[in-house]
Structure 1
């Protein structure tokens, strides 16, 4: 370990982000995420006819599990790229599984490395981050797509959908947010205001969800551009009971539509647990809603100027009910 600052070592915050993926605990958590790993395995194993004799690129290959899935399904050759030191372990893993003749692992950034082939038939990648886009590798997948994917090539997965709903979460909000209003008799409201604007990644009990869900952003990875990932999208949700709204939650669904029978999984509160959980955005004040009330607004999401892997998220919303009208706009920062 070095105590030098990033600028004196020539490394950037982005480099440290990638190097964090060398830690085994992160890969253990992802591999043990049954929904995640089984979905990828099923999408590949049930598409052997698509992978047979094809050249495959695994973007952000990590331990090499997706590369080995593809090689086991008859891929002609798999190229795995990762700039984290985990790739050193992945080489050992590939050798231990007698797949070195089918899998080539390349250490480096997709934006900088060269492949021994001019094009690939299929790109596989587990690129998703919290709130889908926070610290995600989608930008890197798009670079790989534009550099190497053959015409009519495939991407696994190829579609994502982001959703929003409202929740009642008074007890947790009081413990985590309102706590700062009175700390042993002292006001620490400035921290409360900062905590309010920092989204929480956590598991939400589905019984806390008190509205319909609105799909506010759909991404087709075969056609989306980097510019499309900075967006403003409308949403409209309907309360399903008389309740209080303390926060909005967001989650995403992933689709492998190239499969003969499309495979998908959800990271929503009603679905089986994934390590992505859900993202919670607390509102400045609680809203009183009745069944049938409508909350509508918009979400603006864009990379942070100083660190593009962080996100600036603005949620503007309006609700008119018997208790009055709420109109608010809040800027959140995921970092």
Structure 2
């Protein structure tokens, strides 16, 4: 039984009558059936029942609430600002025009609304096979593609790419692999493992890929507003500092990014490079001394990516960029005053899906600690 979708009940007299009694009772029955439906099919059957209920009674309160909850559960909200990001869309369109050739077989990983698959078809691909593991999204993508007259050249496969097999799913290996399965630190959606499998098993030996590579960068930043947002010192006269240890990694929304005004204190340094055409899923570790070129207060280590889609076509979520991307900043336990020439030694690690970072005032040895003997280690990032 599904109980997590249940909405509060209301009395009949709470709302005006909009439909006949028979249609109202039929809608009620469909809603009750939907509430008992397991969600093991990704919500397909539940969505169908709730949609049928709303076709009987368009004002059915509980059907509206449950359908919205279902969509919130299975269709991540970031899809919509991503699709509205014109810079991102233009960059992918240009990269696909540059790399897809007439007659190519294209594998598009992570179909979403079908945009990159349709761009590949428009660029001249013989056929595009696009996979989407979420059934509701895959079903909607089929309708989007049909509405744009491309159903004969694009096949939506409701599977994870790891489960695709050449023969039953793809008639042949792909000439081009397209994906946009990265998070704010490139790793969180499992891009490296997914692309390693795709390039090895689903693509031709010299297949092209979009994106081609990615780089993670780190730099020191100052922002009183960021610190006030994530570590407010007090509220209504009460000291809140004992709550601050929960806030070590700031996941910054685009609106917060615009408000907080992060100021760079020094140049960005490269941490890791990722080759998406020949992915390496081995864990890596690097230690870098981040330099201050201006005076100020070090509040955080800001980590951003650069993603090269094709030669000369790059996406980034650095301090100067816009778009829908979130940002990530690792907050120092105690802000540090800085002068030009100061260094902060950081150690960054990843295991191909997660990223961690620790910081020490440096330069110092690899096992150095602060004067109080404590190592300032930032927690592991959660898998997206």
The TM-score bracket by the shorter chain reads 0.7 to 0.9
Give the SS at the match of 1:100. Answer: coil
CA offsets per residue over residues 256-287 of structure 1, 9 Å max, x none?
24xxx43112210112x122232111100111
- 1:101 maps to which of 145, 152, 163: 152
Deviation by residue 1:203-259 (Cα, 9 ceiling, x = unmatched): 2666611111101111011222222xx3212223221211110111011011124xx
Candidates 316, 335, 341, aligned match of 1:286: 335
Aligned to 1:111: 162
Q: Gapped runs of 5+ residues in structure 2?
A: 6-37, 41-70, 364-368
Aligned 8 A contact 1:206 1:270 in 2: no
Determine helix, strand or coil for the equivalent of 2:300. Answer: strand
- The answer on 1:240 being equivalent to 2:293 is yes
TM-score, normalised to structure 2's length? 0.72
Change (3 A) 1:96 1:174: closer
Q: Which has the higher contact order (CA 8 A, sep 6+)?
A: 1
Spell out, residue by residue over 1:18-77, the C-alpha distance to the aligned partner (whole angstroms, 9 max, x if none): x86853843221111122111100111234xx4210100000111111111111111111
| Distance of 2:265 and 2:336 partners within structure 1 | 12
Structure 1 CA distance for aligned equivalents of residues 243 and 2 of structure 2:
31
Higher strand share goes to which structure? 1
Mapping of residues 36-115 of structure 1, within 5 Å: 36-47=88-99, 50-84=100-134, 85-114=136-165, 115=169
1:52, 1:250 → 2: CA distance? 38
- The correspondence for 1:253, drawn from 306, 313, 323, is 306
Secondary structure of the structure 2 residue equivalent to 1:111: helix
* CA gap 1:160/1:206 in 2 versus in 1, 3 angstroms: farther
**1:1-335 matches, cutoff 5 A:** 2-3=2-3, 22-23=74-75, 25-47=77-99, 50-84=100-134, 85-114=136-165, 115-179=169-233, 182-184=234-236, 186-195=238-247, 197-202=248-253, 203=257, 208-227=263-282, 230-257=283-310, 261-271=311-321, 273-302=322-351, 311=354, 313-319=356-362, 328-335=375-382
Q: Offset at 1:298?
A: 1.5
**What is the Cα deviation at residue 131 of structure 1?**
1.7
Unaligned runs of 5+ in 1: 12-18, 304-308
Matched pairs, number? 308
CA RMSD of aligned residues (A): 3.0
TM-score (norm 1): 0.82
CA distance in 2, matches of 1:170, 1:26: 27
> Does the aligned pair in 2 maintain the 1:55–1:120 contact within 8 Å?
yes
